[in-house]
Structure 1
Amino acid sequence: MKLTVIGGGSTYTPELVDGFARLRDQLPIDELWLVDPDPQRRELVGGVAQRMFAHAGHPGTVHVTDDVVAGVSDADAVMFQLRIGGQAARQQDETWPHEACCIGQETTGPGGFAKALRTVPVVLEYAELVRKHAKPDAWIVDFTNPVGIVTRALLEAGHRAVGLCNVAIGFQRRFAKEYGVAPDQVRLDHVGLNHLTWERGVHVTGADGSSRDVLDELLAADTGALDRMAESVHMPADLIRLQHAVPSYYLRYFYSHDVVLQEQLHEPTRAEAVMATERALLAKYADPSVVTKPVELEQRGGAYYSEAAIDVLSSILGDRGDVQVLNVQNGGTFPFLPDDHVIEVPARVTRQAITPLPVAPLAADMVGLVSHVAGYERLALDAAVHGGRDRVLRAMWAHPLVGQVDKAEQLTDLLLAANADHIPWARSEQVTWAR
């Protein structure tokens, strides 16, 4: 089996490699190809990946290259984990929205929109190379944010693709720890859009094989579980009880926008923290004595990324027909959204298709927010594919965290000025962008 990682020079990659080494029986890889344009990262990340395989006794070989065609040729599956502009672009995404009194975040709000504009054209270019050179039935697994928009871009272009996020598997592990069971004994009623999701049911399978939904127990005030869950998602316990669902921590940007903004204005950015972590990680990767995943990688984010990736890859390539939470086309699952919109729900995975399972109707407040964000996502993808300031402005205005014409105008100019080096059409337009 040949597996290719586009963006293989990411400091995330040893997390993947660790999972591949530990779970080799689940996903037997013969060749792992890491594709990245950065020669230093290729050398350092590729080197530690090779040492990790050797140390674990993994029989597969690790190849590093900047040649995308060589990397994807005859691949069984290709993973995308790109960050166009690197952490420097992320730092901008997390700061310039503050000038318009809006949160700065790499996947949500104006900053996430900027990331989509930078990313979608590049992903579509690489996906065409996968279509041309990989095996005819090869799948693309996208971990590149914003996952919902990027996955819809791939599916709209006719690629065999699915989006992957680690929020659901993180919740699964958290609930498993709460109830003292193995993760595979927990099944979630996970619904929404990427980074806009709720857990509406937590089904725990006992030793006798019976399953029960423990959400009511979690929401009971006297168990302490509700307070622990509220602390983990940084939102009030009363909000969780009121919704009778556990929101992902990304909902905080919507439910507590002004509080988050004030925190951001007085604290270092996440990008700054990640850049410091990456420097430490790259120094570790350069050390020839490092043959296992460094502990510093836990600070990088992406918890359980390798397990989530291995689960979906082994399900696809092994045609297992099991159920996982993934980003897939709606296909009527949410009747209030177009069929081709991408949602994040439990889906059945086979080699030929990934199909969302039916879900119970969403509450009115969830329908409203999901519909609003989905409308923005469709406009954002249109802007990313076709370009033009007017398309950017319309999508910016449509975002529920913006919603005002004057603020959308200011944020559009800020976005285009900050990203002129990464959005080719923006450089060619004769527009003066105010900072």
Structure 2
Amino acid sequence: MRDALKIAIIGGGSSYTPEIVEGFILRYAQLPVRELWFVDVEEGKHKLEIVGNLAKRMIEKSGLPIEVHLTLDRRKAIENADFVSTQMRVGLLEARKWDEHIPNKYGVIGQETTGPGGMMKALRTIPLLLDICKDIEELSPNAWLLNFTNPAGMVTEAIHKYSKVKSIGLCNAPIGLHKWLMNKYDAAPEQIYTEFVGLNHLHWVTRAEIRGDDKLAELLDRKEEYSGKNVPASEWDADFLRSLQALPSYYLKYFYMTDIMLDEQLVSLKENGTRSEVVKRVEDELFKLYQDPDLQEKPKQLEKRGGAYYSEAAVNLMDSIYNDKRDIQTLNVMNDNIIDFLPKDACIEVNCVITAGGPIPVGLTKVPEHIKGLIHAVKTYERLTIEAAVTGSKDLVLQALVHHPLVPSVAVAKMLMEEMLEKNKAYLPAFFK
């Protein structure tokens, strides 16, 4: 790899962009970024210019020789890139609003990556990502694609299945948990080891060791948790948590506490609107701040978004690949034989050793029997959804919805399918030939 890197960020007009710019500034000594290309679509041009100008001010303040380019020409950004990072939202926050609202209408969890809402996001996103992969294959075949676009596991699996691009899926939840443990136990990153088992937004931590001491029982006993800004912090049942023998991702509340979470969503919907409408208000505030010509750093308010530490996860990964660091990170990668009851080409979320040749998944020491069924059921739904996104098959959409644990019946699945596909017609040409 070269000693003057070119990095393309697709979805550069995102409110998260200052995070990743800060990451590149802080890591410059290890990761010599020379060109930073931010690319967006016409609808995102206004935001790209605002956030891009803030990025330029941040770089200028740092005094580093990093060139910042803003463009709507995706191919120009991708050409000869060493790393391509995706942080897109097809349909913007307006599409997310309906992903959350329509399921709620039918008494189903409405969430942007979990359940029917996550399915619609996947159907909109996968075809576009595969299109981007064609450009990468042609213009920068040796580049690494780091996919942060949700639902990250499904998108990454689709890329592995239908393109030749070297792709890794990323999520901020594992690094967020580590930050929480560092703070809780006053521990350095290298003093913490956690074993993750499962899928993106459907993982369990089966080992949590601080300075070599197993703290899992203590963490489960105290009912303490790391939670994201985008998931309400309802408390777990103490008996259930202890008997689970693993620390569940906060997204698992949608499966284990469906009634409570749905009630919270419906109350929140009445009082504040959907989560996407709350995020829109946060984003409006952020972009107002970003326009201030005197602002030269990432504002504190960015932490109100659900993707805290995302840039750290992305920049960590680039640094480790570039420098062949052989450290351990939790990523979305192909299963091979790591989880023996899933297909080899299924995408899973597990610990990996990061080398210059990419991530090598680490074998698991514990997979509790009682979590296998849920992993298998959700993976079945994910694989059906990926095929539906590629083929435009309504039959596969129906089967995926019916087999999702949060959808109660065929009748509800059919109503959800018809209304949600119709609402997304502009983004789903394959379904409306």
Q: Scaled by the length of structure 2, what TM-score is found?
A: 0.93
Matched, 1:249 2:253: no
Q: Secondary structure, in 3 states, of the residue corresponding to 2:390?
A: helix
Which amino acid counterpart does residue 243 of structure 2 have in structure 1?
L
1:65-92 alpha-carbon deviations (Å, 9 max, x no partner): 0101100111001001110000001111
Which amino acid counterpart does residue 193 of structure 2 have in structure 1?
R
Which amino acid counterpart does residue 135 of structure 2 have in structure 1?
L
1:193-219 alpha-carbon deviations (Å, 9 max, x no partner): 0000111111222xxxxx222212323
Aligned partners of 1:411, 1:35: CA distance in 2, in Å?
34
Say if 1:148 and 1:342, in contact at 8 Å, map to a contact too: yes
Matched, 1:24 2:25: no
CA drift of 1:179 comes to 0.6
Aligned partners of 1:9, 1:23: CA distance in 2, in Å?
22
1:41-71 alpha-carbon deviations (Å, 9 max, x no partner): 1210110001011112222111110101100
Aligned partners of 2:361, 2:137: CA distance in 1, in Å?
24
Say if 1:421 and 1:427, in contact at 8 Å, map to a contact too: no
Aligned partners of 1:60, 1:283: CA distance in 2, in Å?
25
CA drift of 1:232 comes to 5.4
Matched, 1:396 2:401: yes
1:13-57 alpha-carbon deviations (Å, 9 max, x no partner): 111111111222232211110011122012101100010111122
Aligned partners of 1:173, 1:163: CA distance in 2, in Å?
20
Matched, 1:421 2:426: yes
CA drift of 1:389 comes to 1.3
Aligned partners of 2:353, 2:410: CA distance in 1, in Å?
42
Q: What does 1:14-413 correspond to in 2, within 5 Å?
A: 14-37=18-41, 38-134=44-140, 136-157=141-162, 158-205=164-211, 211-220=212-221, 225-227=222-224, 234-267=235-268, 268-413=273-418
Residue matched to 2:15: 11
Which amino acid counterpart does residue 11 of structure 1 have in structure 2?
S
Aligned partners of 1:130, 1:378: CA distance in 2, in Å?
24
Q: Secondary structure, in 3 states, of the residue corresponding to 2:103?
A: helix
In structure 1, list runs of 5 or more residues that go unmatched: 206-210, 429-435
1:257-301 alpha-carbon deviations (Å, 9 max, x no partner): 121111111213211111001111111111111101011111122
Say if 2:123 and 2:389, in contact at 8 Å, map to a contact too: yes
Aligned partners of 1:39, 1:303: CA distance in 2, in Å?
24
Aligned partners of 1:47, 1:234: CA distance in 2, in Å?
42
User: Which stretch shows the higher mean deviation, 324-333 or 26-35?
Assistant: 26-35
Aligned partners of 1:200, 1:330: CA distance in 2, in Å?
18
Which amino acid counterpart does residue 369 of structure 1 have in structure 2?
L
User: Which stretch shows the higher mean deviation, 329-338 or 266-275?
Assistant: 266-275
Say if 1:14 and 1:48, in contact at 8 Å, map to a contact too: yes
Structure 2 vs 1, CA of residues 346 and 411 (structure 1 numbering), >3 Å: closer, same or farther?
same
CA drift of 1:228 comes to 5.5
Aligned partners of 1:56, 1:118: CA distance in 2, in Å?
38
Aligned partners of 2:134, 2:357: CA distance in 1, in Å?
19
Aligned partners of 1:254, 1:182: CA distance in 2, in Å?
33
Which amino acid counterpart does residue 398 of structure 2 have in structure 1?
L
CA drift of 1:233 comes to 6.9
Residue matched to 1:208: none
Residue matched to 1:431: none
Which amino acid counterpart does residue 393 of structure 1 have in structure 2?
L
Say if 2:220 and 2:247, in contact at 8 Å, map to a contact too: no
Say if 1:77 and 1:141, in contact at 8 Å, map to a contact too: yes
Aligned partners of 1:361, 1:409: CA distance in 2, in Å?
38
Aligned partners of 2:9, 2:291: CA distance in 1, in Å?
20
1:380-404 alpha-carbon deviations (Å, 9 max, x no partner): 0000111121111111111111152
Give the RMSD, CA atoms, in angstroms: 1.5
Aligned partners of 1:346, 1:174: CA distance in 2, in Å?
18
In structure 2, list runs of 5 or more residues that go unmatched: none
Aligned partners of 2:398, 2:259: CA distance in 1, in Å?
23
Q: Secondary structure, in 3 states, of the residue corresponding to 1:178?
A: helix
